[in-house]
């Protein structure tokens, strides 16, 4: 039994407009991936910038305050030493050394004590600190420097009051800060490039089903038009020939009989196309109930027996186990009839077709075997394609090659697996395996 399912003609190539549309779709999907990542990256970068700027300011302010505390502590020690005949408080700054910090000791009038020379901005800061207790200031210095300072008043144990000031060059800190941001920017750019590349790859994967659907649609339309054109051409030619000259009643009857055959073939094709169209659109009602698979098969065998009798092909049920499954009775009957019709169609005249229903704990199987011409190895991957007919039987049988496409859709609807393979001796064996059985007691009353 050689299966019929696709026209076998090459699929039409995509049009330029369709190719352009798909390319634009891939670009839009890629742009969406890259744009989304860029927005996320920019948001995280802004948050990182704000967080780093805040941390740097907090840490810098904290380190300047700590420096002024060190000046105050050192000045206190020197005052105590002075009382004992030692050094003065102003010596404390000269002996302190804090990396990247300029330290000053000033009096309450803003005059520098140690060192004896200070920038006017430092003196103004000291006056502000003398008034308010502490002060912070940032300014631009010569040579494109940006300085930040903190000043705070303190009183020694002997009652002397001073202003301690610490100054730092922000440029060196900002340079390190900018290097970190630049590194983050480079890594972000690399990440964006990787995302764009991955987005393009994912876009191709995402668009692939659309491309396959469009190709299937084009192939379906081309094959359907091809199959519909044949009976229409036959009907037209027969009518034209009949109308060329007057004929007797018997000739008209013969012509009408031929036309009826073509119309029946055309109606069957249209009905199959309608069934597949409803299946593709998921519009075919599916009402599964608990049914006896063996009873459905036996009923279908009785109907198909009349078809087989025309060619002297015997249908034999070799086994009929009680098998209860969940399914749509009308669709299951259609499935069995399609498989039996194919088995009869591709069997030799006077041959035989065997049918079996086998039940097991794991499910139920329908097995149909014929002794026909069999399936060529090259045809096996395509037997369920729509409009496909193997070269060995093309033109030798009627049908558009939609039967097995419908059979596979019915099997898929029932979560069943359908497989075709060469029969052990000769011909073809079809096996449909249904899911786990329902207990017989659960059959709908």
DSSP string covering 143-197: TTEEEEEEEEEEE-TTS-EEEEEEEEEHHHHHHHHHHHHHHHHHHHHHHHHHHHH
Question: Could you give the C-alpha distances from 354 to 313, 318, 393, in angstroms and in order?
Answer: 10, 6, 21
Is 200 in the same domain as 56? yes
Whether residue 394 lies inside any domain: the answer is yes
At residue 199 the predicted structure's pLDDT band, cuts being 50, 70 and 90, is: confident
Q: What is the CATH number of the domain that holds 85?
A: 3.30.450.160
3-state SS assignment for residue 390: coil
Mean pLDDT (whole number) for 361-374: 84
Over residues 69-80, the pLDDT tens digits come to 888 888 887 777
Cβ–Cβ < 8 Å for 188, 45: yes
> Is residue 389 predicted with pLDDT exceeding 80?
no
> Is residue 67 predicted with pLDDT exceeding 50?
yes
Is 248 in the same domain as 341? no
Domain closes at, from 207, 238, 271: 207
Q: What is the CATH number of the domain that holds 360?
A: 3.30.565.10
Alpha-carbon span 322 to 362, nearest angstrom: 14
Nearest C-alpha neighbor of 224 from the set 277, 278, 263: 277
Average pLDDT, the chain: 78
What does the pLDDT read at residue 132? 92
Whether residue 69 lies inside any domain: the answer is yes
Is 188 in the same domain as 334? no
Over residues 288-331, the pLDDT tens digits come to 888 889 999 999 898 888 888 888 888 989 988 888 888 888 88
Cβ–Cβ < 8 Å for 22, 210: yes
What does the pLDDT read at residue 395? 43
Alpha-carbon span 87 to 376, nearest angstrom: 110
Whether residue 316 lies inside any domain: the answer is yes
Is 123 in the same domain as 257? no
Is 300 in the same domain as 260? no
Whether residue 411 lies inside any domain: the answer is yes
What does the pLDDT read at residue 1? 46
Is 300 in the same domain as 422? yes
Is 177 in the same domain as 324? no
Separation of CA 103 from chain center: 62
Domain closes at, from 207, 240, 265: 207
What does the pLDDT read at residue 396? 44
Domain closes at, from 142, 173, 207: 207
Is 269 in the same domain as 357? no
Whether residue 213 lies inside any domain: the answer is no
Is 119 in the same domain as 229? no
Q: How many domains does the chain have?
A: 3
Q: What is the CATH number of the domain that holds 270?
A: 1.10.287
User: Containing domain of residue 251, as a range?
Assistant: 219-280
> Is residue 151 predicted with pLDDT exceeding 90?
yes
Whether residue 38 lies inside any domain: the answer is yes
Is 237 in the same domain as 186? no
Is 328 in the same domain as 186? no
Over residues 258-291, the pLDDT tens digits come to 888 778 777 777 776 777 766 666 666 677 888 8
Is 56 in the same domain as 168? yes
Q: Which residues contact 403 (CB under 8 A, 6 or more apart)?
A: 3, 4, 5, 272, 338, 341, 342
DSSP-H helix ranges across 244-327: 249-280, 293-309
Radius of gyration, alpha carbons of the chain: 46
């Amino acid at each position: 039994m050689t299966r019929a399912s696709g026209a076998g003609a090459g699929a039409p190539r995509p049009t330029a407009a369709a190719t352009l549309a798909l390319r634009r779709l891939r670009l839009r999907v890629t742009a969406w991936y890259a744009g989304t990542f860029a927005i996320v990256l920019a948001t995280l970068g802004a948050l990182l910038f704000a967080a780093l700027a805040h941390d740097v300011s907090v840490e810098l302010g904290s380190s300047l305050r700590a420096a002024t505390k060190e000046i105050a502590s050192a000045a206190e020690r020197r005052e105590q030493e002075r009382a004992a005949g030692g050094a003065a408080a102003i010596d404390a700054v000269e002996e302190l050394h804090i990396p990247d910090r300029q330290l000053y000791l000033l009096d309450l009038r803003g005059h520098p004590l140690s060192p004896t020379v200070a920038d006017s901005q430092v003196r103004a800061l000291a006056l502000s600190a003398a008034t308010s207790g502490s002060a912070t200031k940032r300014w631009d210095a010569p040579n494109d420097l940006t300085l930040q300072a903190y000043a705070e008043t303190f009183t020694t144990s002997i009652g002397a009051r001073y202003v301690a000031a610490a100054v730092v060059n922000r440029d060196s800190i900002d340079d390190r800060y900018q290097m970190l941001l630049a590194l983050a920017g480079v890594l972000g750019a690399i990440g964006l490039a990787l995302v764009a590349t991955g987005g393009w790859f994912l876009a191709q994967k995402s668009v692939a089903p659309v491309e396959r659907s469009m190709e299937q649609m084009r192939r379906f339309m081309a094959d359907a038009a091809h199959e519909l054109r044949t009976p229409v051409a036959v009907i037209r030619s027969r009518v034209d020939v009949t109308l060329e000259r007057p004929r007797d009643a018997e000739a008209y009857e013969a012509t009408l009989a031929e036309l009826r055959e073509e119309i029946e073939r055309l109606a069957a094709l249209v009905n199959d196309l309608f069934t597949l169209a409803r299946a593709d659109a998921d519009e075919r009602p599916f009402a599964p109930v608990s049914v006896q698979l063996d009873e459905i098969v036996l009923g279908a065998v009785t109907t198909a027996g009349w078809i087989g009798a025309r060619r002297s092909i015997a249908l034999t049920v070799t086994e009929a186990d009680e098998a209860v499954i969940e399914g749509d009775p009308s669709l299951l009957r259609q499935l069995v009839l399609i498989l039996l019709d194919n088995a009869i169609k591709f069997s030799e005249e006077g041959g035989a077709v065997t049918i079996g229903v086998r039940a097991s704990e794991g499910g139920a199987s329908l097995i149909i075997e014929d002794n026909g011409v069999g399936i060529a190895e090259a045809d096996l991957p395509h037997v369920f394609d729509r409009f496909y007919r193997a070269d060995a039987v093309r033109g030798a049988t009627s049908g558009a090659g939609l039967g097995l496409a419908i059979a596979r859709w019915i099997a898929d609807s029932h979560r069943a697996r359908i497989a075709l393979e060469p029969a052990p001796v000769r011909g073809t064996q079809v096996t449909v395996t249904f899911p786990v059985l329902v207990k017989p007691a659960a059959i709908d009353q």
